Structure 1
Amino acid sequence: MNINLKGETFHVDMCGKGTPLLLLHGFTGSSGTWLPFCETLGRHSFMICPDLPGHGKTVVECGPGSFSIESAACAIKEILDVLEIEKADVLGYSMGGRLALSFALTYPERVGKLILESASPGLDSEEERHARRMKDHELANFIKERGIGPFVDYWENIPLFKSLQAMPGPVKEAVRKQRLENSPDGLANSLIGMGTGAQPSYWDRLSELEPEVLLLAGELDEKFCGIAGRMSEYIKSSKVVIVEGAGHAIHVENPEKFGTIVSGFLTHT
């Protein structure tokens, strides 16, 4: 369905029954990222899967404010308001994990349990954020100038997704198809507005998190294994799970294991 928020249109897919579960996809993804889990997670959760700004069928204004992580967190809250949902469990992957963290810190009363897959609280220093912003702007210009096809060719071959290349052809083709369905301008604006360099650092606010937090990382993704371990030192109630044989995109590389871990975390009391 489409939800109109102040002239902007957010596409949201929903399935399942039970406790509301908000699922936030990563950069170049869409709501379709989560639909394969409707049968498993949908047994106990009412899944709410929006296309985030710059992705899928969601249409927002082109101004930089519409693509900031703060603006996206506000839009997520308004989507829950429209659906008359007071509180939801939240699962975010990569960029969606950074958004999930921002949402949990900004609207703590709206979050039940929090799951962060291959996610980061941002970069520590302003120097690091500035350098990352410069790289994100360069990549945004590449997308606009070269188009979606050449960008996806580049993106699927960066080291972060090396383990995805070992997946069966149909799996890789499904991921590629989803990426190609995004618009160049949308992805470029998302990079500039919601990239890691544009995001505030949340490291010094992790101790504010009240919900139970599950931190997921793939064994082959050493950088984010380290980040998950470091985050757990600051969060009051957290559990780190490292998935063997998986890289950055655990839900794609080992969906059965991913579903089992997430279901177990959400349903235990």
Structure 2
Amino acid sequence: MSYFNFDNRKVYYKIKGRGTPLLLLHGNTVSSKMFSQIIRKYAKEFQVILLDFPGHGKSDRLTEFEIDFWFYNSKVAYALINELKLENTCVIGTSGGALVAINLALEHPEKVKYLIADSFEGEYPLPSYISSIENDRERDKKKILAKLIWYFCHGTDWKKIIDLDTKVNIEFSKTGKSFFHKSISDLNVPTLLTGSMEDEYCDYLDKIYGSLQEQNKDLKIHLFEKGSHPAIISNKEKFLYLIMAEIKNAL
């Protein structure tokens, strides 16, 4: 297993395949294992880099998550890119990982060749999501499928990770701040926003993405009619073909 050091902690990463570097950033509550069912096909086309955020998966654990979780983990991703001396890196972030990816591209555009931000809630926390997150998480902890996914991603201490994530979502929402430290209008990396119209967590993705596009006319949007959260998994075949074409045109 491969690790690098960030803030005096070991952070896990994995590289699979050859070709154009493609960094995959996982969502909140999960780890890079969320990509297990798609990694083989992606590795046929790209040099795929997987990363477990600190406190997740095979990375060292944290007693608390940073309140500015998504900006903090963009610094982790940037550190990995430098560690591996990557150039012209394409980045796919999904769900919370999309927020991380956008922060990365805003802060370090010279490192990102193309950005795909998938299935995310926009610039600010969704009130509908935050208002029910505690009850929803407690309910999900009792569901067999959710427990299996979280155990698969993290191991026996998965409950602690879910609780830390719930807390950081609530605490960040209280700040009233944007997920991003710079305006989306400053994003000058070629960017595609993706998602599914049936996403159960992000209501009205067309309106959310549309409002971002109003701030930055260069943003492209592709919404799948069907599929659950996130689109990269629920529309895995169509998603791969889509991003292959987009990245090919960008290179």
Q: TM-score, normalised by structure 2?
A: 0.81
Whichever residue aligns with residue 55 of structure 1, its letter is: H
Q: Which runs of 5+ in 1 are unaligned?
A: 157-172
The secondary structure found in structure 1 opposite 2:92 is: strand
Within 5 Å, which residues of 2 pair with 1:8-19? 8-19=9-20
In structure 2, distance between residues paired with 1:124 and 1:49: 26
Give 1:203 shift: 9.6
Give 1:76 shift: 1.1
Within 5 Å, which residues of 2 pair with 1:1-269? 1-65=2-66, 68-123=69-124, 132=130, 138=134, 151-153=140-142, 177-181=148-152, 182=154, 183-193=158-168, 197=173, 200-201=177-178, 202=180, 205-221=183-199, 222-269=203-250
In structure 1, distance between residues paired with 2:214 and 2:90: 22
8 Å CA contact 2:12–2:58 kept in 1: the answer is: yes
In structure 1, distance between residues paired with 2:165 and 2:49: 21
Give 1:151 shift: 4.0
In structure 2, distance between residues paired with 1:177 and 1:261: 30
More helix by share: 1
The secondary structure found in structure 2 opposite 1:230 is: helix
1:82-105: CA deviation from partner (whole Å, max 9, x where unpaired): 111144111111111111111111
Residues 177/19 of structure 1: CA separation in 2 closer, same or farther (3 Å cut)? same
The secondary structure found in structure 1 opposite 2:113 is: strand
In structure 2, distance between residues paired with 1:226 and 1:92: 20
8 Å CA contact 1:2–1:9 kept in 2: the answer is: yes
RMSD: 3.1
Whichever residue aligns with residue 211 of structure 1, its letter is: V
Whichever residue aligns with residue 105 of structure 1, its letter is: L
Q: TM-score, normalised by structure 1?
A: 0.76
Q: 1:163 maps to which residue?
A: none
What percent of counterpart residues are identical? Answer: 23
8 Å CA contact 1:16–1:38 kept in 2: the answer is: no
1:15-56: CA deviation from partner (whole Å, max 9, x where unpaired): 121111111111222112223333332233211111123321
Residues 37/70 of structure 1: CA separation in 2 closer, same or farther (3 Å cut)? same
In structure 1, distance between residues paired with 2:66 and 2:188: 28
8 Å CA contact 1:92–1:116 kept in 2: the answer is: yes
Residues 66/237 of structure 1: CA separation in 2 closer, same or farther (3 Å cut)? same
8 Å CA contact 2:122–2:209 kept in 1: the answer is: no
The secondary structure found in structure 2 opposite 1:36 is: coil
Instruction: Tell me the number of residue pairs that the alignment of Structure 1 and Structure 2 aligns.
Output: 239
8 Å CA contact 1:15–1:46 kept in 2: the answer is: yes
In structure 2, distance between residues paired with 1:45 and 1:66: 33
Q: Which runs of 5+ in 2 are unaligned?
A: none
Give 1:260 shift: 1.0
